[in-house]
């Protein structure tokens, strides 16, 4: 039996996810001329010119929100605005400010006790990656031939009318797949991972890690990274049941889309727009009631060891999904209720940049809109306020981070749970119905008397009798009692 150890700091972290091209653009960096206007809607291939120094200039915003860690989608040199087509794993993209900008960011973020996690795209690379480009130039004479999975000749890296003749990620010829069975490739990736941890990066988010099936690969990856920094966070992009990677010998957690699915299906319910979610690898529909939500959350809590549950990366949306506001047909109450459940659940909550100001966004690339820094009048200040309140509540009460989670009540529309440690008990309840609800919850002696209870967040009234909590919740509302 493996002794499972995960980084303590992650259990207490609130993550903020940034898509660098769209977050902020510093005027201190000289940029090429052919950039899209910052305030125009994004396109699939166009660049806005966001950079890492722009992030530095807005660390006050991130810190005031209460975030204590930033997860960046890829930042290495690449010929794509999302940078999942890596050209050079040792060079930060020049549009982002290069390696110097990353070092400045690490220094300034760490001064504020903000951790930095980078995206590791190690299953595949790009046509511009040197070793693959050598194959395109020299064909079967290239010394790098066995770094990739060439099937036939000639290779067709750009002409879609001809077979590519090499293995790529989901058949996308722009993303040739590494041959990780080759020890040289394996060692190259391990050294990249070690190098950036040595430079001060606090962890890796691993892109499509399930595509790498080389025996022992992720076990070695963990050993090598943790040898450099035992508290480095390793989190995989696995959308469904991830037990095979979460036994303590590979990842500390995964992007917890199983949680995402349940929360959206419950809080947004029938408001979920089918065409915005049906081609993704998660299931935020059909709508579920509170009883089904309780069953799914109980099952999820049993799926992984508690030490792993505490370091899952919990999220409502990301660069790979439509924003929740759009998924929920623009219903702000759905987002508020989902955020309440996110911030009171075990694991590290993650906010996708812009969600905290009500930034809308449809399917990719629309979900990757720039933040309108020069148009604060467009920000939804109510959304910003409750994000700050809920994050502050999480920071103020350790029980919301590491306390025992216990489902307490569920009917058609109302769900309630408790978080408990040796110092306190908090009760979280949400009502997703279109009308006010009054429910009686058997609490035994959780709270003692009404004199000991107060509302920490949300709205509603309550009466505490011996062993009973009578809770009156307005329509589409939630409350936290402590």
Quick check: helix, strand or coil at residue 242?
A: coil
Asked if residue 475 lies in contact with residue 332, where contact means CB atoms within 8 angstroms, the answer is no
Asked if residue 84 lies in contact with residue 121, where contact means CB atoms within 8 angstroms, the answer is yes
DSSP state for residue 158 in the 8-state scheme: S
Length of the chain: 482
Catalytic, out of 51, 93, 202, 207: 207
Pair of tokens at residue 61: 């915003």
Asked if residue 281 lies in contact with residue 339, where contact means CB atoms within 8 angstroms, the answer is no
Distance CA(367)–CA(354), nearest Å, equals: 10
Quick check: helix, strand or coil at residue 291?
A: helix
Pair of tokens at residue 449: 């008397």
**Phi, psi torsion values for 416, nearest 5 degrees:** -140, 145
User: Is 165 buried (19+), middle (13-18) or exposed (0-12) by CB count in 10 A?
Assistant: middle
Distance CA(343)–CA(400), nearest Å, equals: 8
Task: Please indicate whether residue 207 is annotated as part of the active site.
Answer: yes
Task: Please indicate whether residue 289 is annotated as part of the active site.
Answer: no
Distance CA(222)–CA(252), nearest Å, equals: 9
The DSSP-derived string for 370-394 is PP-TT-GGGS-HHHHHHHHHHHHHH
Distance CA(36)–CA(23), nearest Å, equals: 14
List strands edge to edge, sheet with 461-465.
437-444, 467-473, 461-465
Going by C-alpha positions, the residue among 230, 236, 245 that lies closest to residue 304 is 245
Q: Tell me how many degrees the CA angle 424-427-429 measures, rounded to the nearest 5.
A: 170
Catalytic, out of 51, 93, 202, 237: 237
Residues labelled catalytic: 207, 237
């Amino acid at each position: 039996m493996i002794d499972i150890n995960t980084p303590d700091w992650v259990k207490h972290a609130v993550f903020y996810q940034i898509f660098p091209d769209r977050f902020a653009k510093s005027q201190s960096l000289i940029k090429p001329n052919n950039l899209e206007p910052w305030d125009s809607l994004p396109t699939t291939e166009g660049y806005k010119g966001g950079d890492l120094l722009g992030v530095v200039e807005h660390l006050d915003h991130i810190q005031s929100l209460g975030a204590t860690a930033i997860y960046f989608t890829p930042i290495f040199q690449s010929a794509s605005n999302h940078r999942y087509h890596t050209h050079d794993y040792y060079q930060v993209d020049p549009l982002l400010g290069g390696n110097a900008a990353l070092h400045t960011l690490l220094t300034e973020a760490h001064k504020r006790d903000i951790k930095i996690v980078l995206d590791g795209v190690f299953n595949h690379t790009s046509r511009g990656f040197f070793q693959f480009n050598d194959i395109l130039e020299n064909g079967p004479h290239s010394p790098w031939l066995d770094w990739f999975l060439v099937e036939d000749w000639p290779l067709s890296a750009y002409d879609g009318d001809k077979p590519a003749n090499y293995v790529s990620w989901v058949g996308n010829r722009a993303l040739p797949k590494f041959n990780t069975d080759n020890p040289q490739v394996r060692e190259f990736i391990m050294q990249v991972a070690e190098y950036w941890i040595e430079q001060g990066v606090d962890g890796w988010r691993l892109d499509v890690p399930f595509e790498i099936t080389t025996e022992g690969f992720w076990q070695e990856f963990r050993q090598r990274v943790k040898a450099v920094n035992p508290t480095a966070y390793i989190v995989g992009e696995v959308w469904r049941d991830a037990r095979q990677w979460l036994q303590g010998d590979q990842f500390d957690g995964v992007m917890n889309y199983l949680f995402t699915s349940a929360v959206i299906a419950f809080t947004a319910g029938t408001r979920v727009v089918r065409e915005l979610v049906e081609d993704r690898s998660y299931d935020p529909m059909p709508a579920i009631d509170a009883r089904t939500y309780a069953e799914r959350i109980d099952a999820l809590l049993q799926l992984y060891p508690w030490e792993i549950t505490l370091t899952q990366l919990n999220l409502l949306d990301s660069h790979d999904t439509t924003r929740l506001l759009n998924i929920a047909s623009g219903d702000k109450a759905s987002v508020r209720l989902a955020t309440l459940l996110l911030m009171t659940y075990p694991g590290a909550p993650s906010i996708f940049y812009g969600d905290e100001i009500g930034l809308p966004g449809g399917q990719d690339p629309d979900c990757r809109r720039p933040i309108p820094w020069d148009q604060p009048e467009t920000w939804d200040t109510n959304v910003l306020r409750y994000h700050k309140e809920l994050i502050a509540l999480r920071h103020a009460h350790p029980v919301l981070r590491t306390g025992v989670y216990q489902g307490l009540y569920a009917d058609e529309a109302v769900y309630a749970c408790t978080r408990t440690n040796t110092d306190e008990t908090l009760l979280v309840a949400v009502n997703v119905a279109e009308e006010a609800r009054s429910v009686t919850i058997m609490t035994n002696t959780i709270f003692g008397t009404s004199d000991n209870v107060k509302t920490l967040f949300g709205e509603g009234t309550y009466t505490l009798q011996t062993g009973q909590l009578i809770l009156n919740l307005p329509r589409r509302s939630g409350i936290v009692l402590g």
